[in-house]
Chain A
């Protein structure tokens, strides 16, 4: 069945970068985009951007341009989210989800907790 498996929690220092992964299982990887969301503790969700493995098309929320970078490793059906120049505002849970036209975001990863602390 469809699954998205995310990498484990990260503790990183301010100013550093972090790269997390989202590995897809159970469907043809190039058929659907992978969406990324940020959720601050106890807060709502923000859409960061998406990556379509079919044509490498990438879209970012303007708010996250310069902060987030999406890349892919097609051989392992994995999309990566890299966050740079981390501050305490970047401490959050980051989710990937499978997108697609009229699909909602039906399948989600379990989330990656990023904690930025000295």
Chain B
């Protein structure tokens, strides 16, 4: 099973600042990493799918990079509406596994 270690667990930034979240996998997963945003009471929303592919309709301030075992998710110019939990998911091998999540707050 591939373990996904996500950091940080939480962060607080001012609007306009840059957010960086990292996921490290215990096995090489090529580029099969996905990134989700979840707001309270809602299901996760896919922002970026495998191959660092921004999903249709997702603002370009969201991006990701990485290949193999080290992956980074970035929000440029963070807005107040970006307050949420963020999760990474490896879809390279079953069981698919999620990172532990990052809680983003705005100062």
Is there contact, CB below 8 Å, between A110 and B95? no
Interface size class of B (residues with CB under 8 A): 20 to 34
CA distance A108 to B45 in the complex (A): 8
A105 to chain B: closest residue by CB: B46
Query: CA separation between A44 and B97, bound complex, in Å?
Result: 10
- The answer to whether A47 touches B95, judged by C-beta atoms less than 8 angstroms apart, is yes
Answer whether residue A90 sits at the interface, using C-beta atoms and an 8 A cutoff. Answer: no
Complex contact B50–A102 (CB within 8 A): yes
Inter-chain contact A103/B49, CB cutoff 8 Å: yes
Residues of B within 8 A of A59 (CB): 94
Q: How far is the CA of A46 from the CA of B44 in the complex (A)?
A: 13
Chain B residues with a Cβ under 8 A of chain A: 1, 34, 43-46, 48-51, 55, 87, 89, 91, 94-101
Binding site for B on A (CB under 8 A): 35, 43-47, 59, 61-63, 95, 97, 102-106, 108-111
